[in-house]
Structure 1
Amino acid sequence: MSIPAIGVRNLRVVAYTGTADDRPGTKIQDRGVAASPRGRAGGVGPGEIGNFIITGHRVSHGRPLERAPELKNGDHVLISAGGTVYDYVITRTMTISFRKPAEKAQQNAAVPGNPGAKPTQPMLTISTCSTPEDHAAGNYWHDELGNPEHRINKIGTLVTTR
């Protein structure tokens, strides 16, 4: 994965069966790479109809997504897989709380933000922690895996492949 606007170049994304920010995904992220949950409760692969979810650390383990919150609408995210480059464009930001199951479901939904909606296009969710923002607001809550209360999700849609 490359995200030119924030200086991410050739970040390895490891696919696994699971949901965003679960124990297997966190172990992958702890190796300094990004994780991509797949399957019934996770997302889809690059270019597929539905939500292609990528999670990565922002403040630890090499901080590969340190600058993800800086992504703006119109910024490109390039995914290289199997000789194809998938070009997604960021369209919005969605912040969710890990303490609210309904919000967590929005992150993992086939249509980001709309649990239960049927997907009609390939979409992307880049997800990372909001630890600096939570701590600045005096919120030091975290789950058993160290995830802070809030996640910052940058949502995009596939615009082209080459």
Structure 2
Amino acid sequence: MTQTDRPDGTDAAPRRVRRRRSRPADAAAGKSPASTGRRITFWAGCGLILAGLAVLGWVAWQFWGTNWQSGQRQDDVRRALHSGWGEGQDVVRTDFGNATAIVRIPKFGKDYAVPVLVGSSQEVLAAGLGHMADTAEAGAVGNYVLAGHRVTHGEPFADLPSLKPGDEVIVETRAATYTYVLDTGGEDLVIPFTQTWVLDPDPVNPAGGTQPPDDAGDHLITLLTCSEIFHTDNRSVVFGHLVETQPTADSAAG
């Protein structure tokens, strides 16, 4: 019996073999190349949106969140100062550094009262003004130098450019209240941060420009801040001199 014979002797019909067509892997999985591309684009877009939201969140925190936080810190330091002064402490330890004074600038409004802490670290400048190291104490002979942010972190010197000669800076300590009068305005002097002559006990501008006048005396105050709203390596500088010292009642009685 041949391969084409059936058991009953009849010839067998030729067999038809159906071959399955091969399909691309994506098609077999139900995904076309176009749909895969759309998915990649979708998730890439989601990633860009999330990145944008993160940047906006960071900016919002810098411009509003840090100001709110610094406002709370300044309140804490002011309360600590008044409490410590009541106990006879000239320097009061706080969570953000050692505090020594409260600065009032009438030009900035009646509610302006910013604490002064020792040093110029980020922690200090986020809680008030920084009293620069190795400069004179408030009311003392020499140059009492204060630094502060112009934007973010409470921005205590946001309006420094608006200051004019004749404006007052009042510094309150446990021992006395010192009144300084400004000799220069907030836009009169801008220097690179690398110039340190403004920290000297008797500042003299090497370029011969804006500096304390000859009749300013030897009890000076200097205010420092960034010269521009956004990041800059330049500093705006304002000079003033002491015109009045009013001892506190406790200090006078002692």
Given the two structures, how large is their TM-score scaled by the length of structure 2?
A: 0.48
Partner of residue 197 from structure 2, selected from 106, 120, 125:
106
Name the counterpart of 1:159: 243
Bigger RCO of structures 1 and 2 (CA < 8 A, at least 6 apart): 1
Residue by residue over 1:12-70, the C-alpha shift from the partner in whole angstroms, topping out at 9 and shown as x without a partner, is 00123xxxxxxx53331023x1000232xxx1101111110000001110111100111
Q: Would the aligned equivalents of 2:118 and 2:124 in 1 still touch at CA under 8 Å?
A: no
Name the counterpart of 1:76: 168
SS at 1:64 equivalent: coil
Q: Which amino acid aligns with 2:234?
A: H
By percentage of residues, which structure has more strand? Answer: 1
Partner of residue 126 from structure 1, selected from 223, 241, 249:
223
Tell me the CA shift for residue 108 of structure 1. 1.3
SS at 2:196 equivalent: helix
**2:104 and 2:143 mapped to 1: Cα distance?**
18
**1:6 and 1:60 mapped to 2: Cα distance?**
17
- Structure 1 stretches of 4+ with a deviation exceeding 4 A read none
SS at 1:158 equivalent: strand
**2:122 and 2:176 mapped to 1: Cα distance?**
27
Partner of residue 233 from structure 2, selected from 140, 149, 153:
149
Q: Would the aligned equivalents of 1:96 and 1:107 in 2 still touch at CA under 8 Å?
A: no
**2:222 and 2:190 mapped to 1: Cα distance?**
11
SS at 2:178 equivalent: strand
Name the counterpart of 2:107: 5
Tell me the CA shift for residue 83 of structure 1. 3.6
Name the counterpart of 2:130: 35
**1:62 and 1:10 mapped to 2: Cα distance?**
12
Gaps of 5+ in 1: 17-23, 136-141, 143-147
Gaps of 5+ in 2: 1-102, 207-215, 247-254
Q: Would the aligned equivalents of 2:118 and 2:132 in 1 still touch at CA under 8 Å?
A: yes
Identity %: 29
Given the two structures, how large is their TM-score scaled by the length of structure 1?
A: 0.73
- RMSD across aligned C-alpha pairs, in angstroms? 2.1
Tell me the CA shift for residue 127 of structure 1. 0.7
**1:94 and 1:13 mapped to 2: Cα distance?**
23
Q: Would the aligned equivalents of 2:217 and 2:241 in 1 still touch at CA under 8 Å?
A: no
